Structure 1
Amino acid sequence: MSEKVANTFDGRLIFLMLSILLNVFFNALTVSTNMGSAVWTASAVNLAHLFNLSLGNTLFLEGVIVAIVNLILLGQFDYFRLFRNLIFIVPYSYLLAWFKQLFFAMGIPLLPIGWRFVLDLVGLTGVAVAVSLYQRANVVLHPNDDLPFILRFRFLHGSPCWSQWDSNIPPIAIIVVTAILTHQLFAVNIGTILNFVMQGYIIGWADQHIFPQLHHHLDFKSTLH
């Protein structure tokens, strides 16, 4: 796809749909390996166990709360941005839950630990690439990924690493609190630590190397110079 076509609305919409599929597929893969999921996904899994809710419903409710926090950070109640976030949340939440069940049915959790670790690394990398794509397309974003996007370009001078680290503070707090209450940890393992440390770097790398013709499309004032 040419640079011109990639950055039209139709081109960005294609990248959005691709990124959603990549995101739910690879996030569900990490959950099924039990070797550690992306931090926000892991927080939702632990909340689901704490409140005895389905994963799909938990992901949806968590996303709504984060979407409201994002509007507070922007300093204005942007109804259109909230609507776009909600458009993303619905298919993401329930498709991820469906793919998780599929991977469980395929026996992924029963594989030897070495294979599960490899699949987890593949999944975490795939999630970061997906985030890079739909952050650049910026048609609609999941609130959990809109948060670092807002932090990155509004407050942190374009740094993908610092924005990811700062945005991971809330889900880490959720994981700690749920672990204290339930005395159990779910979807948290070595992969979660790797995700926390490396996702920002992988997103930055993907920005430059995975469909580099797709540019960032900002819809608020940026501090990036």
Structure 2
Amino acid sequence: MYIVRNEEQMAKGLFWLCMSVFLNAFGNALTVKAALGSAPWTAAGINISNATGLTVGNALIILGLITLIADDLLRRRWNGIKDIFNFLYMLSFGYLIDFWLFLMQSVDVNGWFLRTVACVFGVLCIAAALSIYFRVNLVLHPFDDLLKILRENYLHGNVVLAQRISLGIPLTVGLSIGLFRHHLLGINLGTAVSFLCMGYFILFFDRFIHLHLDQKALSQRHLPHWGHRVKHSKA
């Protein structure tokens, strides 16, 4: 009976994880389509995409791979099977953003009002997805793992400073590429809203979306699990 319950909880956890990555990718794609600024890592991906001709999703995958390597260097060890799961999650996230952007090609988002609504709705979708993703707590995107490592290994638990540093990196990348090319993309209203308000939005969805998951049962399965939840801070 206990094993059956564990299996049920794992199935629920995987379902919610899939829902969160679909919703997260959709929200990010919507902010890209609205062209009023995206979350910092996505903004960096947009500027890399514009400079290289890569898709936004592929640019984010490259950024994620670099960050994954940096995470292990900062951790001073390879994270084993957890790195593999994190890489697969990162890959799925990047490809899903491209999938949603492909579906949105024929959709016109014109005018400041409509673009603002689309941008804010996209940020809310991201917040809802992150609320689910952090509570399921089966994998970590390398971007989130970077914040966790900085917070726990270098900044004595200071999540605010860890967030500023981890989000400052993609902002610097995006700004540098945009200013060098005299064509700054992806850093605007949506970036400010994401940076300043994402944590509050996530807390709201924590109360609004009920997952009914048994974390103890999930922690005993094969997917990687970290002892406590990462603070609300996704880019």
Give TM class, smaller chain: 0.7 to 0.9
Cα displacement (A) at 1:18: 0.6
1:107 is matched with 108
Q: Which stretch shows the higher mean deviation, 96-105 or 31-40? A: 96-105
Cα displacement (A) at 1:67: 1.2
Cα displacement (A) at 1:149: 4.2
1:169 is matched with 168
Give runs of aligned pairs for residues 49-198 of structure 1, distance below 5 A.
49-108=50-109, 111-151=110-150, 155=155, 157=157, 159=159, 163-198=162-197
Alignment check: 8 A CA contact 1:45 1:187 kept? yes
Counterparts in 2 of 1:221 and 1:206: CA distance versus 1, 3 Å: closer
Return the alpha-carbon distance in structure 2 between the equivalents of residues 77 and 188 of structure 1. Answer: 33
2:23 is matched with 22
Return the alpha-carbon distance in structure 2 between the equivalents of residues 87 and 119 of structure 1. Answer: 28
Return the alpha-carbon distance in structure 2 between the equivalents of residues 213 and 199 of structure 1. Answer: 23
Cα displacement (A) at 1:158: 8.1
Cα displacement (A) at 1:87: 0.7
> What TM-score do the two structures reach when normalised by structure 2?
0.80
Cα displacement (A) at 1:151: 4.4
Return the alpha-carbon distance in structure 1 between the equivalents of residues 200 and 103 of structure 2. Answer: 30
> What TM-score do the two structures reach when normalised by structure 1?
0.84
Cα displacement (A) at 1:136: 2.0
Residue-by-residue CA offset, 1:78-108 (whole Å, 9 max, x unaligned)? 1212101111122211220121132231112
Counterparts in 2 of 1:6 and 1:175: CA distance versus 1, 3 Å: farther
Return the alpha-carbon distance in structure 2 between the equivalents of residues 35 and 192 of structure 1. Answer: 8
Percent identity for Structure 1 against Structure 2: 29
Cα displacement (A) at 1:75: 3.6
Alignment check: 8 A CA contact 2:65 2:87 kept? yes
Structure of larger gyration radius: 2
Return the alpha-carbon distance in structure 1 between the equivalents of residues 8 and 115 of structure 2. Answer: 37
Equivalenced residue count is: 218
Runs of at least 5 residues in structure 2 that lack an aligned partner in the other structure? 220-224
The RMSD of aligned alpha carbons is 2.9
Return the alpha-carbon distance in structure 1 between the equivalents of residues 156 and 212 of structure 2. Answer: 24
